[in-house]
Amino acid sequence: MTMAESKEAQKPKVKRKEIAVININEEWCKGCDICVQICAKDCLRLNKWSKVEIIDLEACNKCMLCEILCPDFAITVR
Amino acid sequence: MTMAESKEAQKPKVKRKEIAVININEEWCKGCDICVQICAKDCLRLNKWSKVEIIDLEACNKCMLCEILCPDFAITVR
Amino acid sequence: MRYEARLSGEGGQGLILAGVILAEAVGIYDGKNVTQSQSYGPESRGGKSKSEVIISDDEIDYPKATRVDLLLSLTQESCNEYVKDLKEEGHLIVDATYVPSIPPGSFQVYQVPMIQIAREEIGKEIVANIVALGVITEISGIVTREAIKKAVLARVPKGTEALNTRALEA
Amino acid sequence: MRYEARLSGEGGQGLILAGVILAEAVGIYDGKNVTQSQSYGPESRGGKSKSEVIISDDEIDYPKATRVDLLLSLTQESCNEYVKDLKEEGHLIVDATYVPSIPPGSFQVYQVPMIQIAREEIGKEIVANIVALGVITEISGIVTREAIKKAVLARVPKGTEALNTRALEA
Amino acid sequence: MGAVAAGCRFFAGYPITPSSEIAEQLAALLPTLGGKFIQMEDEIASMAAIIGASLVGKKVLTATSGPGFSLKQENLGFAALAEVPCVIVNVMRGGPSTGLPTSPAQSDVMQARWGTHGDHPVIALTPGTVTEIYTETIRAFNLAEKYRVPVILLFDEILGHMREKVEIPLPGEYEIVDRKQPTCSPDEYVPYGPTDDDVPVLANFGEGYRYHITGLMHDEHGLPTEKPAIVQALQDRLKRKIDRHLDDILSTESFLTDDAEVAVFAIGSTARSARGAVREARDLGIRAGLLRPRTLWPFPEKDVAALGERVRTIVVAEMNMGQLIYEVERAVHGKTRVLPCLKADGEPIPPSQILSAIKEG
Amino acid sequence: MGAVAAGCRFFAGYPITPSSEIAEQLAALLPTLGGKFIQMEDEIASMAAIIGASLVGKKVLTATSGPGFSLKQENLGFAALAEVPCVIVNVMRGGPSTGLPTSPAQSDVMQARWGTHGDHPVIALTPGTVTEIYTETIRAFNLAEKYRVPVILLFDEILGHMREKVEIPLPGEYEIVDRKQPTCSPDEYVPYGPTDDDVPVLANFGEGYRYHITGLMHDEHGLPTEKPAIVQALQDRLKRKIDRHLDDILSTESFLTDDAEVAVFAIGSTARSARGAVREARDLGIRAGLLRPRTLWPFPEKDVAALGERVRTIVVAEMNMGQLIYEVERAVHGKTRVLPCLKADGEPIPPSQILSAIKEG
Amino acid sequence: MFVYEEYMREEMFPLIWCKGCGNGIITKSILRAIDRLKIQKDDVAMVSGIGCAGRLPGYVDFNTLHTTHGRPLAFATGVKLARPELKVIVITGDGDGLAIGGNHFIHACRRNIDVTCILFNNATYGMTGGQVAPTTPMGMWASTMPYGQMEPSFDACKLAEAAGASFVARGTTYHAVALEKLIVEAIQHPGFSFLEVITDCPEIYGRKNKLGDPADMLLAQKDKVVPIDQQGRYTPEQLAGKVFTKILHKHEATEYTARYQQLIDRVKVEGNGHAL
Amino acid sequence: MFVYEEYMREEMFPLIWCKGCGNGIITKSILRAIDRLKIQKDDVAMVSGIGCAGRLPGYVDFNTLHTTHGRPLAFATGVKLARPELKVIVITGDGDGLAIGGNHFIHACRRNIDVTCILFNNATYGMTGGQVAPTTPMGMWASTMPYGQMEPSFDACKLAEAAGASFVARGTTYHAVALEKLIVEAIQHPGFSFLEVITDCPEIYGRKNKLGDPADMLLAQKDKVVPIDQQGRYTPEQLAGKVFTKILHKHEATEYTARYQQLIDRVKVEGNGHAL
Ligand SMILES: Cc1ncc(C[n+]2csc(CCOP(=O)(O)OP(=O)(O)O)c2C)c(N)n1
Ligand SMILES: Cc1ncc(C[n+]2csc(CCOP(=O)(O)OP(=O)(O)O)c2C)c(N)n1
Ligand code: SF4
Ligand code: SF4
Ligand code: SF4
Ligand code: SF4
Ligand code: SF4
Ligand code: SF4
Ligand SMILES: [Mg+2]
Ligand SMILES: [Mg+2]
């Protein structure tokens, strides 16, 4: 599992929302694009190997939709 | 088949109804008693071999119930 | 000595039960070797029905009757069909009402109105099989009265013992 | 001379069709003896997929590859599994993107980003199989360009001919 | 009934003449013993239900006849592959199709061996007396539990409906086998792991050992696999677990075969006629004998081969158009003449017919 | 496809890998020819539907694999007894149970013979090339029509999914047989009455000859009977109509058997490996040969027996745990050594394995 | 003038059915209905399964097919699709049609193929000796429910409707004239038509459940049913425990063989399909 | 804190299912529901048939049983009746549960045995490559309906209700949180509970019917369904072509294993039944 606890998580923020911890399991991700399209905050995208990757962790509002709708147990949000 | 065209059919009647012709097939009759019990005019009964026989042809009003409800094609009324 | 009894009629007449009772009477209560077997018409209800009891001093290999000592028939059809295996001098017991015509042959014929007795004297047509057992006991001598009575009582539903004893002795 | 080609990857990549086209190119258009056979993963969709083409001057008895001359792999998994039968000096053609690690062995390796080409240059990932056929034609020399082109056009859906020709030549 | 004495506490079935009486008796009996009876919507479901009940630890039974036996075949194969103990009674009647529903036959004997698709281990027993219907039923349950295989009890309608003096053993006079259960902890548990006797130790569902059961080829964890080596090992073990234990599984009765010149091979009620015929033949001075398998499958090859070495002729008497005769022919390897004595008209074979064949032999 | 060329105009099936492609092709093709395709709710219904369609005069086909073949058995027996022409394809895959759904096997060969309850006539063909898949399919329809029996086409997954050069005969190059129809008037018509060839002349439903068809034992009018003599006559005729016509039904290929010392017996795709192995053996100086039945059932006993007289050893190569080897052992009557060459792991038998067995022989 | 003999195989008589069995009453109603519809005997295919009911086709002079237990609808689907000109009538029992044959039943309803299915509901397995059926009412005796039926039973008509049948009706043997009419309407309906007939098995079900003689059972039917078009005349209390008779559901939908013919007309090509 | 891993057989991952297949979404909903219910893993038996959906039990850490095609409810009936303490969950496909398994389905509904049946309706036979299912909508492509589906399809929920099911509900993968709740309620229901889940097969059904990528298909579900408790908010025109979700039917009825236990309590005798 690749941990994606972004360095930027340390930065002080205006809104004091907790930054999400998003785990992606690249071995299991099949690149179906569901999480990418479902995310209203555009936090995710597919990379060139068709695996999901995080592009904007800060934007994540922990709506959990990506986790709940990922068919492959490949992404979790805490 | 035993034809049961009763001699009495010739007698002149008050009500000018036609006397029924009831055919009984003893070979097929199983003596279930349905026709006997269904007949509102008590025209029929079972004999000692448990076959149906006619006891009152004149009373028959050709309601056809006995024919229609005989399961064994053993009685017809004309 | 091998004794073969065949009980025949139609489904619903209780002949299989009668065969079982006869076998149990001979086997359990009289202590001889006995087998009982049966066959039916299509699938399992209605139609022809046949129950056979073989009684022997030796072990019984073949449980089917081939040379019948006693044939009971409650219907004309079964009588016609099964009489062919009856031994010369064998016993033919038929219902006097339902088997009007006796097939030709040199056997001893007993015409007993068993169904009528059951219906009229006992009041239940359904115990004709027990009436028949009584007749068989008397005629064949192959089973004791004691034994048949015990066997009947052991098999019939509770509450019908008296009825069945009457039937047996009718 | 017996030449064995094995096309491997996963269900949905169209490798079976590619095998069929290759076989038809060699058989119908180039006129050699050829058989094509295949195997799948569980039931029939998804999972591993393998298509084999045997080309020979003689009659072909055994239609499965045993000593492979050419292995095409579009997934790492299939590459790992099937490389074992590849001959020394055989050709290993892998997708440059999806098969990052090349198993060790003394064969000639060609890393071509076939799926990427299909996606980016042709615009349809689904024609990666046809791109692969183009690569195979170039590398193996076992089939003429003419023949493979005819075979592709005969098999692909109407309206996609141009697309597929581009894929073949990409 | 033997089943209940052997510990059977679950029955699922679908009525069919002439097997329905077994169901009817158990419908009344099982709940009085805390057991369960269910009539399912068809034979396929009955077979499925007993497999399900066996997996939670019950000793299970179903009973049927020809057409229903055909329908049970698919799930019977599941039980064979997944190694689920169960007992299936087939009271054979005249086939094919609806055939002669109330007449005796022995025409499902090959189906009992080959009825489902794929290779599969199977045990089939053929009792020959009413007492054996009791004792062989107990043996059927024991073998099912011991080897985790479906065991088929092939009755013929005659025995199924016959009454004679039976010698019912008392509890304690017969052995009752219960399936092995794991002794290790759930963490160490490997359901289809190797064992000394090639029989896996499958835990009953719901007792703390969670694992997977499938009708796909599987590895030792019960999980699906297509790896040839694992598959072949599984196939080999399934075969071996029977082959290794032939001594325990086989059971035959020999009657006057020691000095026989002509022997009859027969099962079930036909063996009774055969015994009569053998006696009569002896009376006529013909040295006749009888070999009667109580275990029909696996086939008693060695006994038949040994008999073949000794006798001039083997008469195979069966109520069908010729099925077991193939097996006998194979087993004797050309050493003996093999004669058919067949009947498939709904009537049992009388001793006289077998006697004629013996005379011919 | 061969089926369509043979006149098949009705298909009913239920999908199952690896047979579904046959259905898919016919779903597209049949309506273009005025034929009918229907996917039924299960395999039992598919088998029933083709029997129904055959009775109104259509040439009918169904296709399945292992588990589905098990489910079709009951109604297959109906077709055998009621004498309804039909063709059943079983693309064999790894069993038992769900087994290895996409892997080749030859493990339903005995089931094809004995899968349904009761004695029953059956014909099973085993093509060995892609061309034969075409030509043997035509032959299957012809045999079904001629003898009014279910004909089983046993493919293995390899042949089923293989492509090679095929030599498709042109119309006119092959014979097409249509079932006999009555020539008498409806009043004189006796559906199961005696005929020269033991095959009844059953009128197509709806063409003016009304009669009864049943899965019960029946008399010559098709009406149910339990009379032993009539039943036995029916059973005998059903057997005889195959036995009498063996010359027409059997078909085997011999490859280099004339001078062989060791012969391989194999069907379908295994026979292809065997042929390769035989060639290699010859290269090594071993006089090897191959006997390959195209008609597996009825079993080519005489050919095998004759071979057994000639060779030292017969190697039986099959993708299962040993099934046809029983038949070969039986047929040779101990005259020859019979060696198994088996594989049941989902992979085909390679020529090398057979070659080893030949060397041993 | 109508005579049953016209449609009977007299050589098969007397009927195999027991004394007083309702099956004969239904048989006669069917024959009268077919006569009324003036369908040629050659154009009728009657298909049945196994059971007492399943024996019917043996007695009547049509193209008759007595199949395997539970499967008549599947056979009939083949007959009808292959030769749509035939009027196909399926005779099935409550065990045959709803227990082992339940799947074919719901799929035939769904497919809407023009077959008329007449289900003889005698609340038991008659042929095999009184085992429980999916129609046996709660508490009643059956040989495999010796302590009384414990399972809820099906309402076959509801099931048919939910599965998609375009014609659903119920009749009784007691109302044999009404039954005849329902059979006429069922056969006339273009599409799958389902007709459940409440009938009696006096020999086994009746005897074991002490329901009296055949005539008693027949007369008792009167009190069990309410014609659906007269339900307004009853209070809810009066309706409790009753079942409705007559046509219970009907809708229009394209029939399956007709739809298939449209497909053929659309895609048919010339030739014999050689080498395709 | 809930972690899926707790319930997974990680050695089996990645899932066999295709990219974007809805089955994984349902699997996760089931695991969350079981977690919410705090049922011990040892007490869950999960039984499935054959098909893509049928592969589910292999991935989860319960007592799992992958049976034959169409038969999981029959196996499950045996499991439950023999050991009523187990929570039995059946996983079935629309082909498995409604085509070949239709009979077991209606009978399980009728019997009201406490089993929860979750039917994965992807409108096709996924595992075998896209053949027509009894749920394929009219006109859609299927490999065995190359000219478009010609048969009407089942409404599985209607069928379940008519067959007697005491709990009937429908959910979608898109509304996965609502789905989780429905699963909780289905499992809690004492008696047979049926839950149909509308899910997607993007790999075959989606691709061949040109329904877009997995996300497109998932999002499209929104417009196909209306929660039954909100139907009042829609006009009849708006409701046309939609299916209802949430709990569609519920009634109280004695559960089957409980009824059987009552029987045992009534008739049980001592002893081991020897020589009976
Ligand atoms: C596959 C199969 N299973 C079981 C049977 C036995 N069987 C014959 S008829 C029947 C049930 C008959 O009940 P029903 O359909 O209600 O007809 P009825 O006799 O009541 O008219 C059964 C179970 C069979 N012939 N075939
Ligand atoms: C008896 C039998 N018939 C057919 C098959 C082949 N088969 C496997 S899965 C399947 C259908 C799967 O469809 P569905 O139940 O909808 O599951 P899905 O794959 O769509 O999840 C079929 C027909 C089989 N395995 N066994
Ligand atoms: S939790 Fe919501 S916002 Fe965050 S990445 Fe996932 S879908 Fe986007
Ligand atoms: S939803 Fe899951 S499988 Fe799909 S792209 Fe996102 S992480 Fe990967
Ligand atoms: S027709 Fe009517 S009145 Fe006359 S005998 Fe028959 S039932 Fe009685
Ligand atoms: S109804 Fe028919 S069978 Fe019954 S007694 Fe009257 S005539 Fe005889
Ligand atoms: S058993 Fe019942 S249903 Fe069957 S014929 Fe007799 S009375 Fe009729
Ligand atoms: S075929 Fe369809 S249902 Fe099956 S795993 Fe793939 S996407 Fe899912
Ligand atoms: Mg009934
Ligand atoms: Mg599906």
pLDDT tens string for chain F (361 positions)? 789 999 999 999 999 999 999 999 999 999 999 999 999 999 999 999 999 999 999 999 999 999 999 999 999 999 999 999 999 999 999 999 999 998 999 999 999 999 999 999 999 999 999 999 999 999 999 999 999 999 999 998 888 788 888 888 988 899 999 999 999 999 999 999 999 999 999 999 999 999 999 999 999 999 999 999 999 999 999 999 999 999 999 999 999 999 999 999 999 999 999 999 999 999 999 999 999 999 999 999 999 999 999 999 999 999 999 999 999 999 999 999 999 999 999 999 999 999 999 999 8
Distance G130 CA to ligand 7 centre (A): 9
Say what the pLDDT of residue G270 is.
60
Element (H, E) at H198: strand H193-198
Distance G199 CA to ligand 7 centre (A): 10
Q: H223: closest CA among H235, H205, H241, H207? A: H241
- Pull the structure tokens for residue F198: 């033991």
- Residue whose CA is at the smallest distance from ligand 6 atom 6: B35
Higher pLDDT, H158 or B10: H158
Burial of residue H232 (number of CB atoms within 10 Å: 0-12, 13-18, 19+): exposed
Structural domains of chain G, count:
1
- Which among F24, F42, F97 has CB closest to H144? F24
Rounded-to-integer distance, Cα G13 and Cα G27, Å: 13
- Pull the structure tokens for residue B47: 């004999």
Q: Is the peptide bond before F104 cis (omega within 30 degrees of 0)?
A: no
DSSP-derived 3-state class of residue C56: strand
pLDDT above 70 (res D135): yes
Say what the pLDDT of residue A2 is.
44
Residue pLDDT, tens place only, F39-67 = 999 999 999 999 999 999 999 999 999 99
Alpha helices in chain F, H assignment, sequence order: 2-5, 20-29, 43-55, 66-82, 109-114, 130-147, 157-160, 228-243, 246-249, 268-283, 301-310, 324-332, 351-360
Q: Do chains B and E touch (3 or more CB pairs under 8 A)?
A: no
- Residue whose CA is at the smallest distance from ligand 4 atom 8: A29
pLDDT above 80 (res H220): yes
The alpha carbon of residue E257 and the mean position of all alpha carbons in its chain are separated, in whole angstroms, by 24
- Pull the structure tokens for residue D170: 């990409």
Say what the pLDDT of residue D45 is.
58
- Residue whose CA is at the smallest distance from ligand 6 atom 4: B32
Give the confidence band of G273 by pLDDT, cuts at 50, 70, 90. very low
Say what the pLDDT of residue D48 is.
76
Domain that holds residue H245: 16-270
Give the confidence band of D41 by pLDDT, cuts at 50, 70, 90. low
Give the confidence band of D42 by pLDDT, cuts at 50, 70, 90. low
Candidate CATH numbers 3.40.50.970, 3.40.50.720, 3.40.50.2300, 1.20.1530.20; the one for domain F2-160: 3.40.50.970
SS3 annotation, chain E: CHHHHCCEEEEEECCCCCCHHHHHHHHHHHHHHCCEEEECCCHHHHHHHHHHHHHCCCEEEEEECHHHHHHHHHHHHHHHHHCCCEEEEEEEEECCCCEEEEEECCCCHHHHHHCCCCCCCCEEECCCCHHHHHHHHHHHHHHHHHHCCEEEEEEEHHHHCCEECCCCCCECCECCCCCCCCCCCCCCCCCCCCCCCCCCCCCCCCCCCCCEEECECECCCCCECCCHHHHHHHHHHHHHHHHCCHHHHCCEEEECCCCCCEEEECCHHHHHHHHHHHHHHHHCCCCEEEEEECEEECCCHHHHHHHHHHCCEEEEEECCCCCHHHHHHHHHCCCCEEEEEECCCCCCCCHHHHHHHHHHC
User: Does ligand 2 come within 6 angstroms of the Cβ of H93?
Assistant: yes
Rounded-to-integer distance, Cα H106 and Cα H192, Å: 11
Angle between helices E301-310 and E324-332 (to 10 degrees): 60
For residue H207, report the phi and psi dihedrals to the nearest 5 degrees.
-65, -50
The answer to whether the Cβ–Cβ distance between F56 and G86 falls below 8 Å is yes
DSSP-derived 3-state class of residue F257: coil
Distance H125 CA to ligand 2 centre (A): 6
The answer to whether the Cβ–Cβ distance between D41 and E226 falls below 8 Å is yes
pLDDT above 70 (res D153): yes
Say what the pLDDT of residue F171 is.
87
Ligand 1 atom nearest to E70, measured from its CA: 1
E105: alpha, beta or left? (left if phi > 0; alpha if psi -120 to 50): beta
Rounded-to-integer distance, Cα G239 and Cα G231, Å: 8
At which residue do the structure tokens 């409707």 appear? Answer: G161
Q: How far is C44 from chain F (nearest CA, A)?
A: 14
Rounded-to-integer distance, Cα D124 and Cα E107, Å: 60
The interface residues of chain F toward chain G in range 3-22, judged by CB-CB distance below 8 A, are 4-5, 10, 12
H271: alpha, beta or left? (left if phi > 0; alpha if psi -120 to 50): left
Q: Is the peptide bond before F200 cis (omega within 30 degrees of 0)?
A: no
Q: E16: closest CA among E56, E68, E75, E51? A: E68
Rounded-to-integer distance, Cα G132 and Cα G126, Å: 10
Residue F287 carries which DSSP code?
-
- Pull the structure tokens for residue E17: 């003449």
In chain E, the residue whose alpha carbon lies closest to the alpha carbon of F77 is E97
- Write down the pTM of the prediction: 0.95
pLDDT above 50 (res H274): no
Rounded-to-integer distance, Cα F352 and Cα F338, Å: 19
Higher pLDDT, B6 or B25: B25
pLDDT above 90 (res B4): no
The answer to whether the Cβ–Cβ distance between B71 and G23 falls below 8 Å is yes
At which residue do the structure tokens 């098909």 appear? Answer: H51
Count of CA atoms in the C-beta half-sphere (13 A) of D141: 2
Rounded-to-integer distance, Cα F19 and Cα D2, Å: 30
Distance G95 CA to ligand 2 centre (A): 27
Give the confidence band of B15 by pLDDT, cuts at 50, 70, 90. low
Give the confidence band of H273 by pLDDT, cuts at 50, 70, 90. very low
Beta bridge partners of F313: F262, F337
- Which among G13, G174, G218 has CB closest to B73? G13
How confident is the model over B43-53, as a mean pLDDT? 94
User: Does ligand 1 come within 6 angstroms of the Cβ of G93?
Assistant: yes
The answer to whether the Cβ–Cβ distance between E224 and D42 falls below 8 Å is yes
How confident is the model over G158-166, as a mean pLDDT? 98
pLDDT above 80 (res C128): yes
The answer to whether the Cβ–Cβ distance between G215 and B34 falls below 8 Å is yes
Alpha-carbon distance values, H37 to C72, F157, H51 (Å): 69, 46, 27
Distance H96 CA to ligand 2 centre (A): 6
Other beta carbons within 10 angstroms of residue F171's beta carbon come to 12
Q: Are F77 and F118 in contact (CB under 8 A)?
A: yes
In chain G, the residue whose alpha carbon lies closest to the alpha carbon of C12 is G203
- Residue whose CA is at the smallest distance from ligand 8 atom 1: H126
Which residue among A22, A36, A66, A75 is best mutated to probe the pocket of ligand 3, counting the most ligand atoms within 8 A of its Cβ? A66
Element (H, E) at D6: strand D2-10
Rounded-to-integer distance, Cα E91 and Cα G64, Å: 30
pLDDT tens string for chain A (78 positions)? 444 444 444 444 455 568 999 999 999 999 999 999 999 999 999 998 889 999 999 999 999 999 999 999 999 999
Alpha-carbon distance values, A43 to A12, A32, A65, E182, E210 (Å): 19, 16, 12, 50, 39
Q: Are F63 and F91 in contact (CB under 8 A)?
A: yes
User: Does ligand 6 come within 6 angstroms of the Cβ of B13?
Assistant: no
- Pull the structure tokens for residue B24: 């009984």
Distance H215 CA to ligand 4 centre (A): 10
Rounded-to-integer distance, Cα D72 and Cα G37, Å: 69
The low-confidence residues of chain E, meaning pLDDT below 50, are none
Neighbours of ion ligand 9 (CB under 5 A): G 93-94, 122
Residue pLDDT, tens place only, D60-72 = 889 889 899 999 9
Count of CA atoms in the C-beta half-sphere (13 A) of H85: 8
> Residue H155's domain is classified under what CATH number?
3.40.50.970
Say what the pLDDT of residue E247 is.
97
- Pull the structure tokens for residue G214: 């055949």
Say what the pLDDT of residue D57 is.
87
User: Does ligand 8 come within 6 angstroms of the Cβ of H204?
Assistant: yes
* Touching partners of B (3+ C-beta pairs < 8 Å): C, G
Residue H146 carries which DSSP code?
T
Yes or no: domain E251-360 corresponds to CATH 1.10.287.130: no
Say what the pLDDT of residue H270 is.
60
Residue G86 belongs to some domain of the structure:
yes
Count of CA atoms in the C-beta half-sphere (13 A) of E226: 19
User: Does ligand 1 come within 6 angstroms of the Cβ of E15?
Assistant: yes
Q: Are D130 and D167 in contact (CB under 8 A)?
A: yes
Q: How far is D116 from chain A (nearest CA, A)?
A: 9
First to last CA, chain C: 30
Q: Are H243 and H231 in contact (CB under 8 A)?
A: no
Higher pLDDT, C101 or H149: H149
Domain residue spans in chain E?
2-160, 251-360
Give the confidence band of D46 by pLDDT, cuts at 50, 70, 90. low
- Which among H79, H268, H274 has CB closest to E56? H79
The answer to whether the Cβ–Cβ distance between D35 and F17 falls below 8 Å is no
- Which among H101, H110, H152 has CB closest to G110? H152
How confident is the model over C13-27, as a mean pLDDT? 91
- Residue whose CA is at the smallest distance from ligand 5 atom 4: B60
Distance H74 CA to ligand 6 centre (A): 44
Using DSSP bridges, classify how beta strands C108-112 and E288-293 pair: parallel, antiparallel or unpaired: unpaired
Above pLDDT 90, what percent of chain H? 96
Say what the pLDDT of residue A49 is.
87
The alpha carbon torsion through B46, B50, B53, B56 (nearest 10 deg) reads -10
Ligand 2 atom nearest to F98, measured from its CA: 25
**Residue C17 one-letter amino acid:** L
Same fold, E2-160 and E251-360: yes
pLDDT above 90 (res D160): no
- Pull the structure tokens for residue E180: 């092995």
Q: What is the mean pLDDT of chain G?
A: 96
First to last CA, chain G: 55
